[in-house]
């Protein structure tokens, strides 16, 4: 089948000529350079040098001192971004690729993000330290990326490389931690209305204020969209992929003393999302709660976290045999829940030593029902999973801070129990089943270590190594998966083992001047026991005078993947109010072993570009104009495991413009994919899923 030709077969080819595109970028840069400087705006200089992050070691540390590669996206950068959802905001960072587009509304249970060549639910998402990978459905693509309101986010911390030594399962590729705002004494009140292409409209609100020792933050919004046609070739049964979404995030804080704090937060989210055909859509409701208590003495910091995540999902699926014109099955997750405790102590006995230790407990409960409206058939699955995990981490600052050493480890005891699955009338003549499974237990030890050396005050040379793992989800252990109107039938496997990875990286970071910063990192990873489908049998049946192919699979640990790559980043504060930035990632992810299909060995992993380039500029002048411009170029993406479908590269340009009026009103224009590129998201023999092209959103924000 070869290379896909309806998108750019070469860098910057097709549509406008490459020279015209670059001339637009240079024209914008010249225009901004000619603008007057913002009065009173402080020079950015090396403020990045003092950035603090908590995710890498579970305690506050300078990013410049961490042996791991860490990126902090600040509140200003989040607000300037032309994107609403975290999955899009973070994709500009080096080493990250988002292979989904939000207008797709769903891509099943597969996470949309890859970090350093690792993806498919193997990147851990945290919100204020609470894990969002839910372990029963790994529904990170369904839930987590869109539900935290953008206005409620203080910063986003990205830690690359395996993080199981700190956070346990799921962190094979790295961790993304969304840190939400705390209310301040100065009131923050904001009301935003928005309208855009695809008959999209909605509104958002934010209120935050602290009075004496108590504070309250409420943020939320509603959005509806008639959606877009994303399928090519378009069939008569295709409809727009619509979406309707509502969300509320609340946070209440109380300070017992200046060093003792209690925080309670709650999150409520609902959506109804169409998936391109009349009888194919999903409904989801989510509620989450967390309670955090922290107390700091001079040499001891204590923190306790309790959380509960609950969800209710209903998926309506159509029948392939009648060209998707009738309802085939209704799947329901009946209030699956994840609750847990996280207790940690940070000790600072000496100026040069920080030790963090603690223990976590997590419990997952899950029930999955299937109903077939055209028959008396019933199916489903259920199970429970528990994690008990002590951990420890030590940071040493030696030789006056010139050398920072880090070492950490975590031990996870995991048990899966009460596992069941049943089906009263399965496809393909299979006999009905009602299975109960014995308890499965795993133990996993995850060490890590690293060094950061400062030969001078502007340079860091770093090296780190670590291991990661992902425990099989209850979905993979017990859920018999049916898709395509029964054409795809996949058995669960209660004997699955955890996926594992070993990784190391070497990096150099340098401030060449007070305003010019660069970083380069080489990394290599070895992943094993990746879970995949093993084909059991393939057969054909006649349906409405047509032969239809049916495939039966079983989940097994079948593959090893080798990964290596290079990340380079540069940031230049050209003026007080103008920043230029760029990053380039070269990543090779190849299948080293596949027990199901040895012919795949040496093939590239799907939906992961070999070359990723992001570049842009950020101009900050609230009284005149704020401009955020982001260019994205991706080259060599494979869409199937056989590496048959491949892009030749595509370029997109996104930007956000905003202007403040009368100190209380701000007009915002957000444009994604300015040049209207129609690049693919997924490609198969049945057709191609493509993005809808240029998207325009206008907003009016009122501040009180």
Cis status of the peptide bond prior to 114, with omega within 30 of 0: no
Judge whether residue 483 has pLDDT over 90: no
Q: Is 167 exposed, middle or buried (0-12, 13-18, 19+ CB in 10 A)?
A: buried
Judge whether residue 18 has pLDDT over 50: no
Dump pLDDT digits (tens) for 513-522: 989 999 999 9
The mean pLDDT value for 252-278 works out to 94
Instruction: State residue 64's pLDDT score.
Output: 92
Using the 8-state DSSP alphabet, how is residue 109 labeled? Answer: B
Instruction: State residue 17's pLDDT score.
Output: 46
Of 46-60, 272-286, 377-391, 437-451, the one with minimum mean pLDDT is: 46-60
Dump pLDDT digits (tens) for 380-421: 999 999 999 999 999 999 999 999 999 999 999 999 999 999
| CATH entry, 18-703, from 3.50.50.60, 2.60.40.10, 2.40.170.20, 1.20.1640.10 | 2.40.170.20
Domain boundaries, the chain: 18-703
Judge whether residue 661 has pLDDT over 80: yes
- Three-state DSSP class for residue 212: coil
> Which residues, at least 6 apart from 338, have a Cβ–Cβ distance to it below 8 Å?
131, 134, 135, 136, 307, 308, 309, 310, 362, 363, 364
Instruction: State residue 30's pLDDT score.
Output: 64
CA-nearest of 330, 311, 219, 228 to 270 is: 311
Residue 375's CB: how many other CB atoms inside 10 A?
9
> Which residues, at least 6 apart from 264, have a Cβ–Cβ distance to it below 8 Å?
251, 252, 253, 289, 290, 291, 292
For the chain, give the mean pLDDT. 88
**How long, in residues, is the chain?**
704
Dump pLDDT digits (tens) for 217-248: 999 999 999 999 999 889 999 999 999 999 99
């Amino acid at each position: 089948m070869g290379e896909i030709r309806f998108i750019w077969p070469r860098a910057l080819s097709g549509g406008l000529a490459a020279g015209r595109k670059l001339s637009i970028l240079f024209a914008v840069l010249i225009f901004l350079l000619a603008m007057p400087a913002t009065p009173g705006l402080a020079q950015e200089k090396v403020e990045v040098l003092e950035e603090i992050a908590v995710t890498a070691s579970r305690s506050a540390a300078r990013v410049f001192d961490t042996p791991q590669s860490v990126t902090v996206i600040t509140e200003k950068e989040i607000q300037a971004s032309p994107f609403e959802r975290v999955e899009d905001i973070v994709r500009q960072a080096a080493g990250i690729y988002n292979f989904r587009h939000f207008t797709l509304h769903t891509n099943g249970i597969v996470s949309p993000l890859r970090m350093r060549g690792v993806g498919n639910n193997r990147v851990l998402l945290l919100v204020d330290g609470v894990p969002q990978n839910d372990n029963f459905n790994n529904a990170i693509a369904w839930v987590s990326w869109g539900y935290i309101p953008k206005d409620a986010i203080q910063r986003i911390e990205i830690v690359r490389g395996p993080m199981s030594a700190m956070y346990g399962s799921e962190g094979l590729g790295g961790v993304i931690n969304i840190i939400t705002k705390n209310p301040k004494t100065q009131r923050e009140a904001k009301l935003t209305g928005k309208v855009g292409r695809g008959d999209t409209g909605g509104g958002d609100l934010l209120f935050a204020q602290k009075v004496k020792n108590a504070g309250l933050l409420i943020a939320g919004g509603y959005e509806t969209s008639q959606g877009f046609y994303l399928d090519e070739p378009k069939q008569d049964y295709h409809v727009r992929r619509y979406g309707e979404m509502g969300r509320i995030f609340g946070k209440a804080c109380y300070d017992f003393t200046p060093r003792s704090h209690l925080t309670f937060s709650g999150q409520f989210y609902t959506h109804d999302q169409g998936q391109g055909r009349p009888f194919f859509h999903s409904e989801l409701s989510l509620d989450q709660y967390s309670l955090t208590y922290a107390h700091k003495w001079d040499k001891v910091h204590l923190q306790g976290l309790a959380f509960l995540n609950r969800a209710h999902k209903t998926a309506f699926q159509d029948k392939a045999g009648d060209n998707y014109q009738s309802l085939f099955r209704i799947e329901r997750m009946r209030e699956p829940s994840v609750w847990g405790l996280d207790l940690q102590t940070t000790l600072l006995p000496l100026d040069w030593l920080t030790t963090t230790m603690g223990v976590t407990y997590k419990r997952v409960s899950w029930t999955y029902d299937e109903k077939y409206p055209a028959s008396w058939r019933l199916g489903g699955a259920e199970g429970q999973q528990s994690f008990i995990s002590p951990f420890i981490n030590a940071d040493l600052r030696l030789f006056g801070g010139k050398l920072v050493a880090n070492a950490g480890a975590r031990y996870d005891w995991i048990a899966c129990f009460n596992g069941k699955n049943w089906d009263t009338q399965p496809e393909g003549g299979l006999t009905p089943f009602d299975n109960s499974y014995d308890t499965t237990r795993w133990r996993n030890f995850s060490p890590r270590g690293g060094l950061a050396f400062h030969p001078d005050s502007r340079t860091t040379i770093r090296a780190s190594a670590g291991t990661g793992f992902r425990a099989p989800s209850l979905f993979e252990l017990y859920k018999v998966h049916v898709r395509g109107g029964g054409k795809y039938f996949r058995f669960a496997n209660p004997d699955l083992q955890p996926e594992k990875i070993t990784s190391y990286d070497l990096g150099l970071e340098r401030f060449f001047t007070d305003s010019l910063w660069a970083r380069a990192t080489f990394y290599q990873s070895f992943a094993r026991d990746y879970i995949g489908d093993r084909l059991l049998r393939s057969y054909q049946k006649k349906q409405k005078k047509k032969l239809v192919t049916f495939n039966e699979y079983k989940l097994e640990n079948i593959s090893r993947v080798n990964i290596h790559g290079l990340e380079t980043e540069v940031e230049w504060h050209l003026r007080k109010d103008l920043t230029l930035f760029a990053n380039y990632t070269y990543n090779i992810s190849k299948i080293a072993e596949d027990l199901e299909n040895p012919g795949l060995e040496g093939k590239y992993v799907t939906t992961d570009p070999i070359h990723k380039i992001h570049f842009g500029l950020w101009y900050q002048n609230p009284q005149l104009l704020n401009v955020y411009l982001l260019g994205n170029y991706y080259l060599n993406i494979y869409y199937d495991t056989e590496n048959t479908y491949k892009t030749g590269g595509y370029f997109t340009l996104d930007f956000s413009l905003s202007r403040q009026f009368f100190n209380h009103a701000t007009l915002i224009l957000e444009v994604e994919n300015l040049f209207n590129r129609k690049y693919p998201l997924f490609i198969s023999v049945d057709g191609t899923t493509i993005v809808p092209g240029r998207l325009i959103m206008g907003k009016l924000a009122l501040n009180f």
